Amino acid sequence: MSVQPVILWTDALIFALLAAVLGLVWFIRRHAHLRAPWAAVARRPMAMGAALVLTVFVVIGLLDSLHYREALPDSPPGRPQYSVEVLSVFDALVGPLRTQQEKTYSAPLAMQLYAKEFVERDGATVRDYPRLKYGGAHLKQVDERVPDIARRILVGLAQGLAASLLLFGLLAAWQARHRHMVFGKWLTAWGGGYLGWPGRTVVLTLALLFLLGSVTVHLAAAYHVFGTDKVGQDVLYISLKSIRTGLVIGTLTTLVTLPLAIMLGIAAGYFRGWVDDVIQYVYTVLNSIPGVLLIAAAVLIVQVAIEAHPDLFDTAAARADIRLLALCVIMGVTSWTGLARLLRGESLKLRTLDYVEAARAFGVSHARIISRHIFPNVFHLVLIAIVLDFSGLVLAEAVLSYVGVGVDPTMYSWGNMINGARLELAREPVVWWQLGAAFVFMFALVLAANLFADGVRDAFDPRLEGRR
């Protein structure tokens, strides 16, 4: 079946950012003074473990950013007509999770709907819990569910453990070869002979990821691991699809925040005078306006513009994507003030140092002084702010979507999941799993981002050098 590639605005920006990051990695590897702090990050066990968890989220987000449209089955061979539904490579990989849709709510790992209905049984109409169409459909009796789940968990654990042991063996063999040791001594690597704590952390984290992933795959093949929502869609699928939205909010918003914060913050501290007064006035005015109200007003304006020009957005995915991009821009414009104030204070101190005064005395231009002497000495603050603000932006999206001014309601996001769960918690019995799934995935991403941010801060902040 032929497909038509679809490049959304956020897709292009995501892969442009990925190319920039790869280029930055290549540049850092060529300079020893830039490699040193990152090597310090790599020696921190918690930072390495968190980086692996973040890598899993990033891979899912990148796969979900490769979009396409499938050709309609009844379209002419010479002139294929394509579906209006925009899918991704991730959708193709987890096809059953997307297509196996039930009637309505069902609990995690259940075989029946969550509410009773009138069903035909033995020629009579009774009120009972109907069987699910896909969840546990391979079983004949409800009593077989618990043994089947236990068997799948054990098989998943066994396969995950086998993959973990294989990974450990490869890493230990590589360490032994790297240190010119006999492979038969690879067991001593685990005892600390060749495999230090960052290496052990990598092995343990990957082992846990393999175990968790293997068990989830085996359970998801026959059940809805996190249950289904109001329209019967798999909550695990919704949670995984929401990863891309969280990553886009956290990364693209930073692209808008950084130029404003760096240029205005350094300019205010370096030039002082009327430049400093104007910039302080601007970010004081922005801070005096409630952020939620400003974002809500801007989002509503964007929504009106989208509805007024429907011909510019031919699919629902394109309309939701442009609203997501607008939300990133709006949040970036309103969240640069904190970093700018921090850079202003640091620039005020740096401009009085001897080498900066000497450069001005020799007639060096302001642009060269800022690029060669000021910015390199505040770059650690920029990097620390990036990794620290990422988790805050992910949480901000959830809050904004909860109050109805976040991403498009048709887009998968943890904020929309929490907003949808608000009414479900008032049901009897309570439908709790959609809120629980959003909490689990948000907790994992934000915790990993914060742990990695701590490692970056410890490695790059010169004020912690004495403590290290």
The residue among 343, 357, 349, 364 whose CA lies nearest residue 268 is: 343
Provide CB contacts within 8 A for 165, sequence distance 6+: none
| Predicted local confidence at residue 188, as pLDDT | 53
Cα–Cα distance between 201 and 402 in angstroms, integer? 36
Q: Yes or no: say if 266 and 375 are a contact pair by the CB < 8 Å rule.
A: yes
- Tens-place pLDDT, residues 250-272: 888 888 888 888 889 999 888 88
**Torsion of Cα atoms, 298 then 303 then 308 then 314, to 10°:** 130
Q: Name residue, tokens 């393999």.
A: 210
- Tens-place pLDDT, residues 219-232: 998 888 998 888 88
Is the pLDDT at 104 greater than 80? The verdict is yes
Phi-psi region of 5 (alpha: psi -120 to 50; beta: other; left: phi over 0): beta
- Tens-place pLDDT, residues 40-49: 888 888 888 8
Q: State what percent of residues in the chain have pLDDT above 90.
A: 11
Is the pLDDT at 404 greater than 80? The verdict is no
pLDDT class of 103 with cuts at 50, 70, 90: confident
**Torsion of Cα atoms, 19 then 236 then 402 then 87, to 10°:** 50
pLDDT class of 177 with cuts at 50, 70, 90: low
Work out the number of other CB atoms within 10 angstroms of the CB of residue 24.
11
In degrees, rounded to 5, the angle at the alpha carbon of residue 201 between the alpha carbons of residues 195 and 203 is: 75
Cα–Cα distance between 352 and 408 in angstroms, integer? 49
Cα–Cα distance between 116 and 339 in angstroms, integer? 54
Cα–Cα distance between 175 and 424 in angstroms, integer? 52
Cα–Cα distance between 450 and 456 in angstroms, integer? 10
70 SS3 class: strand
pLDDT class of 237 with cuts at 50, 70, 90: very high
Is the pLDDT at 442 greater than 50? The verdict is yes
Is the pLDDT at 60 greater than 60? The verdict is yes
Q: Name residue, tokens 């002084």.
A: 369
Average pLDDT of the residues in 75-83: 76
Is the pLDDT at 195 greater than 60? The verdict is no
H or E element, residue 276: helix 273-288
* Residue 215 or 168, more confident: 215
Rg (CA), the chain: 27
Average pLDDT of the residues in 419-437: 81
| Predicted local confidence at residue 196, as pLDDT | 59
Per DSSP bridges, beta strands 87-88 and 124-128 are: unpaired
Task: Using alpha carbons, list the distances in angstroms from residue 168 to 157, 186, 192, 399, 421.
Answer: 16, 10, 14, 41, 41
Main-chain dihedrals φ then ψ at residue 430, nearest 5 degrees: -70, 135
User: What pTM was computed for the model?
Assistant: 0.85
87 SS3 class: strand
* Residue 187 or 366, more confident: 366
Is the pLDDT at 199 greater than 60? The verdict is yes
The residue among 141, 131, 123, 74 whose CA lies nearest residue 106 is: 131
Average pLDDT of the residues in 196-201: 69
- Tens-place pLDDT, residues 132-176: 888 888 888 888 888 999 999 999 999 999 988 887 777 777 766
| Predicted local confidence at residue 169, as pLDDT | 75
Q: How many helices (H) and strands (E) does the chain have?
A: 18, 5
The one-letter code for the residue type at 282 is V
Main-chain dihedrals φ then ψ at residue 125, nearest 5 degrees: -95, 115
| Predicted local confidence at residue 56, as pLDDT | 93
> What integer best gives the mean pLDDT of the chain?
82
| Strand partners for 82 | 71
362 burial (CB, 10 Å; 0-12 / 13-18 / 19+) is: exposed
| Predicted local confidence at residue 156, as pLDDT | 92
Average pLDDT of the residues in 429-433: 83
pLDDT class of 189 with cuts at 50, 70, 90: very low
Is the pLDDT at 124 greater than 70? The verdict is yes
| Predicted local confidence at residue 463, as pLDDT | 58
Cα–Cα distance between 374 and 356 in angstroms, integer? 8
H or E element, residue 21: helix 9-29
